[in-house]
Chain A
Amino acid sequence: MTSAGPLLLVVEDELQMRRFLRASLGSHGFGIVEAGTASEAVALATSHNPEVILLDLGLPDDDGIALTRRFREWSRVPIIVISARGREADKVEALDAGADDYLTKPFSVGELLARIRVALRHARQAGGAAEPLIEIGPLRVDLARREVTIEGRDVRLTPIEYRLLVLLAQNAGKVLTHRQILKEVWGPGHTEDTHYLRVYMAQLRRKIEADPAQPRLLTTEPGVGYRLRDHIG
């Protein structure tokens, strides 16, 4: 398939899913290479150097998590895993193994495109310096001046709350697992202390959300982690 847009590698063994992805992604200007097995995927990834990999976790010849690890040994290409509902543990494992995001079947094209856009943006930023100013809807995080405002009003955060928010903001649009956040904010010794994270996340929501029980910025992915939305629609 020839296309001017970014090249995606679709690793999926079900033909119907591949047909749907080819049609919908192709019509949005993406170039697509398809693999039905893990070994094909490795071969295509080395030969075509795709910008994003869409990886179904249920492959016939290898498990997707192991494949993610193999990719991560030599590549930083964004990987979005696709899995069935109810397999939260698999998703977390794939994310902790280095996948960038996930989608739960069934998903809409809109969700898929949003994930791909976020993945592409983060991949392109990774080389350069971090943005000093992050703006998402009413939220503004000024990293240089260590300033957080909501609709122009200053928000006073504790050091942990601030580190949490900055981590999520730098990964805006991407899901972060409990383990990833705990490791970054509390240190490698606290990766199991999920309740720390939950309590601080609740505090943070009270400071930046209009109604913390109906968050518009800081969303929970139950059983997986948290995501700071990159836009409010």
Chain B
Amino acid sequence: MSEQTARDGSSSSSQAYGYLWTGALAGATTGLGLLAQGWFAAPDLVMLFLLFVGVTAALFGRGPSILASALSVLAYNFFFVEPFHTFQVRDQRNILTFAMMFIVGLGTSALTTRIRRQAAEARTREERTAVLYDLSRDLGSALDKEQVAEVATRHAAAFFGGTAKVFLPDASGMLAAQAENGTDATPDANETSAVRWAFEHTRMAGLGTHTVPDARVVCVPLRSGLGQENLGVLSLAPKSTAPLTVEQRHFVDGFVRQVALAFERARLADAAKAAALRAKTEELRSSLLSAVSHDLRTPLGAITGAATTLRDGTGTMEPGERAELLETICEEADRLERLVRNLLDMTRLESGTLEVKREWVPLEEIVGAALNRLEAQLAGRPIRTQLPAELPLLSADPVLLEQVFINLLENARKHTPPGTSIEIRAQAGSNTTTIEVADLGPGLPPGSEARVFERFFRAGSTRAPGAGLGLAICRGIVEAHGGTISAKNRDGGGAEFRMVLPRVGEPPDVPSDSGPDGPDESRSA
């Protein structure tokens, strides 16, 4: 791995240098000793050699410093102890000096080397701590499994050299590979079996292990230690094929534990999200049930009451009363139909089965269809439309968008006094179409502008009938088209609903025929 190989490479070449330098320094020390000989006694010069050994140990480590000790003893003996220029020793006391010199030299070298090694270890530890720190920081900002896998592979590849992949079990239990962005994640046969084995046995496999040692990768199981299960496998393809040292394995363990913890966290976050969604669905279901049961019972009660009165009281009833009861039945049945329709629409929106079938369609046609559909309900109300002829075709689902207009118009009808006008306006922006439906009623209760689009929200008193679903459906449909819808009170009074639909693509060309002056035109006088 890059860290190790770098240090190995530098140590073998620098060791040769170290020995050469030691020889050179030995020569220099001896020269210095010879120059200083006139002023100092021979035993003082021992100190000079000890200094040399110390420097060598500090600079070049153990081997060169042992060499330096030996060279010091030899040079001291040869140049500074009588008889000069021989290795013979006449005075027995000098033996002790040599021995002490050698032992002190060796001791210095051993101590210095240990300090050096400890310094190097401290540096490595610091580097690894920094790596793990960086990893944990990046993992901390990873929100889901994919991001965790991305961070893990990027850091593993950067630190260990070579490439890295993460294998995670999918819903069916198959291990799917994810590599660093932009690299190929497809595993070969050896890697696949090593990964599989590591995952199933929760032990390392692949390169440098006893299982599938032919693989080019080291496979490390991802276990956080929190849960019993194995979350996946980290697969490293190092540059060198040397097996991992014990120390490196420890480091890999630490690395993997952090990654596994991050996966565990992402998984728990997913589970929490799913649980929150379930709770929300449950809450929605119960509020739906209570709202619906009330809203279904009210018209049903009115219909049953009116119908039984008509059945049982034929003889005694005034024609006016009869007509009123029949009218009640029709109105309440309409209301029931609207409610059921809204509930079905809401269910389709909520369940995500709503399919937006986009077609190129003029807004005018959709507005016209909605107004036609509501002709009876809107009778006696002036409807003002301002739809510029040059409005581009919309890419929208005509049936769904018609429903939006129907709901907005029904909403306006319900909340405004009879006979007041309703306006429908549209204008094209550079890449949007803005459509407004405005009325002249009492407007929205202050502060409820955003809430009117919530399910079951009913503005102010519940005098106006309805389950509070119409506008929620509008929002659902508009958002399914990639648009937005908002509500506000108009300056002059009344509510205004505005939707902004994005322009999607370029409308197709429609070949124009020969025009009004063509040969085949209908005759005009």
Contact = CB atoms under 8 A, between A and B. Distances in A.
Interface of A: 85-86, 88, 106, 145-148, 154-162, 194-196, 198-202, 205-206, 211-215, 219-223
A212 B510 contact: no
A194 B523 contact: no
B522 A202 contact: no
Given A157-B516, A195-B360, A220-B372, A147 B365 contact: no
Contacts of A222: 366, 369, 398-399, 402
Q: Which of B366, B398, B513 has the most CB of A within 10 A?
A: B513
Nearest to A154: B524
Interface string B344-386: 1000000000000001111011111101100000000001010
A194 B521 contact: no
Contact of B424 (A146, A161, A196, A213): A213
Contacts of B512: 158
21 contacts: A88-B399, A147-B522, A155-B524, A156-B516, A156-B522, A159-B514, A159-B521, A162-B520, A194-B359, A196-B511, A198-B359, A198-B362, A199-B362, A205-B368, A212-B364, A212-B368, A213-B368, A213-B371, A214-B383, A214-B385, A219-B369
A48 B166 CA distance: 74
Contacts of A146: 522-523
A174 B525 CA distance: 30
A113 B144 CA distance: 61
Given A158-B514, A196-B510, 7 more contacts: A157-B521, A194-B359, A198-B359, A199-B510, A200-B510, A219-B369, A222-B366
Contacts of A213: 364, 367-368, 371, 385, 387, 424
Interface of B: 333, 337, 341, 344, 359-362, 364-369, 371-372, 383, 385, 387, 389, 393, 398-399, 402, 424, 507-508, 510-516, 518, 520-525
Given A145-B523, A158-B521, A223-B399, A202 B364 contact: yes
A197 to B, nearest CB: 9
Contacts of B359: 194-195, 198
Contacts of A205: 364, 368
B524 A156 contact: yes
Contacts of A215: 368, 372
B524 A214 contact: no
A184 B4 CA distance: 80
Contacts of B366: 220, 222
Nearest to A207: B516
A157 B512 CA distance: 12
B361 A198 contact: yes
Nearest to A196: B510
Nearest to B508: A195
B340 to A, nearest CB: 9
Contact of B344 (A86, A156, A159): A86
Contacts of A223: 398-399
A145 B525 CA distance: 11
Contacts of A162: 520-522
Contacts of A220: 365-366, 368-369, 372, 398
Contact of A147 (B372, B511, B513, B523): B523
